[in-house]
Amino acid sequence: MSNLIEQFIHYQMVEKGLAQNTLDSYRRDLNSYSEFLKKQFNTVNISDTSRTHIISYLLELKNKGRATSTISRNLASIRSFYQYLMRDRLIEKDPSQNLESPKIDKRLPKVLTVDQVETLLQLPDTTSPSGLRDKAMLELLYATGIRVSELVSLNLEDVNLNMGLVKCFGKGSKERIVPLGSIAIKSINHYIDNGRNRLGKKVANNSLFLNHHGRRLSRQGFWKIIKKYAKQGNINVEITPHTLRHSFATHLLENGADLRSVQEMLGHSDISTTQIYTHLTKSKLKEIYSKAHPRA
């Protein structure tokens, strides 16, 4: 089964051009499913699996306390895998067919206030190379709303500071151009000129943001960085790698930006994904109304 999983991953990469994070997610989910089959049912032969096996696996995830979104994603991975096997005639029947995904409660994303963002952006110590890097990363994230995976994938040539533009590759390797604000441009310039080459003994690649070994900073590395600053600044909001992205979108809409423009900057293929931020701005309006209106 492991060989089939790798064939499936290769197909998704070559034929569909999926991003590395998506491919890693598929591999993780399917390897977990394979281990479950081997442990619980003593089988690794995919043609022997049935609807019962899949349901048992999903129940196992639920019993372990996995989030509904995680269970739903696992089922989507398994379903895509079986569809691939059917397409290549490696199995005769798709046991995942007609299996319903669990309903996911749409939770509004956590966002920072403008004051909290300002606090966060002022925390890095810009007298050190790592502080210059952190300042540039945080300013870039808030200025553009790009994903953390897109941030750490940036190369030097992807940022045009003269024109104030950044080029990034989103889900499905789709390229988009996002404008940069003047403060972000200044911070990135300062980092490139005074900090980047001082990170690590030898910088031998064109990655924009580096770790202390002079190699490309990872998503996990950034995650630790933003958690550190949130704690340092006493920001009592649950910070995630996407917090600045959510804050970027919400603050734009609150200040009159149109939904289509925000959709394009975020790289959402479907505007319904972007519309969740309108719920946040409506919630804010209701809060203001409740506090300000004498008959609220």
**In-domain check, residue 92:** no
**In-domain check, residue 147:** yes
Q: In terms of domains, do 253 and 130 share one?
A: yes
Pick the catalytic residue: 53, 73, 245, 246? 245
**In-domain check, residue 61:** yes
**In-domain check, residue 108:** no
**In-domain check, residue 100:** no
- Min mean pLDDT across 12-16, 51-55, 266-270 is at 266-270
- Whether the full predicted model's pTM is greater than 0.85, yes or no, is no
Question: What share of the chain in percent tops pLDDT 90?
Answer: 42
Q: Quick check: is 147 catalytic?
A: yes
Pick the catalytic residue: 84, 191, 229, 277? 277
Q: Quick check: is 242 catalytic?
A: yes
| 256: confidence class by pLDDT, cuts 50, 70, 90 | confident
Q: Quick check: is 245 catalytic?
A: yes
For the chain, report the end-to-end CA distance as a whole number of angstroms.
Answer: 61
**Can you give the pLDDT at residue 253?**
79
Q: In terms of domains, do 148 and 214 share one?
A: yes
Query: Could you give the CA distance from residue 225 to residue 223 in angstroms, rounded to a whole number?
Result: 5
DSSP result, 52-80: HHHHHHHHHHHHTT--HHHHHHHHHHHHH
Among 70, 87, 104, identify where a domain stops: 87
Q: How long, in residues, is the chain?
A: 296
- CATH code, 49: 1.10.150
Q: In terms of domains, do 153 and 284 share one?
A: yes
C-alpha dist (Å) from residue 120 to 93, 232, 252, 253? 53, 9, 18, 21
Q: In terms of domains, do 155 and 61 share one?
A: no
Q: Give the count of domains, the chain.
A: 2
Among 52, 87, 122, identify where a domain stops: 87
- CATH code, 173: 1.10.443.10
Alpha-helical (H) ranges within 123-203 are 129-144, 148-153, 182-194
Pick the catalytic residue: 79, 212, 242, 284? 242
**Can you give the pLDDT at residue 279?**
64
Judged against a pLDDT cut of 70, whether residue 263 lies above it is answered with yes
Q: Quick check: is 10 catalytic?
A: no
Q: In terms of domains, do 44 and 133 share one?
A: no
**Over the stretch 102-132, which tens digit does the pLDDT of each residue have?**
765 556 667 888 899 899 999 999 999 999 9
Pick the catalytic residue: 110, 171, 186, 215? 171
Q: Quick check: is 246 catalytic?
A: no
Q: In terms of domains, do 159 and 282 share one?
A: yes
Q: Which domain holds residue 8?
A: 2-87
Q: Residue 216's beta-bridge partner residues?
A: 210
- Beta-carbon contacts of 144 under 8 Å, excluding residues fewer than 6 positions away, are 166, 168, 178, 179, 180, 184, 248, 265
Judged against a pLDDT cut of 60, whether residue 269 lies above it is answered with yes
**In-domain check, residue 105:** no
Pick the catalytic residue: 147, 196, 246, 251? 147
Q: In terms of domains, do 131 and 231 share one?
A: yes
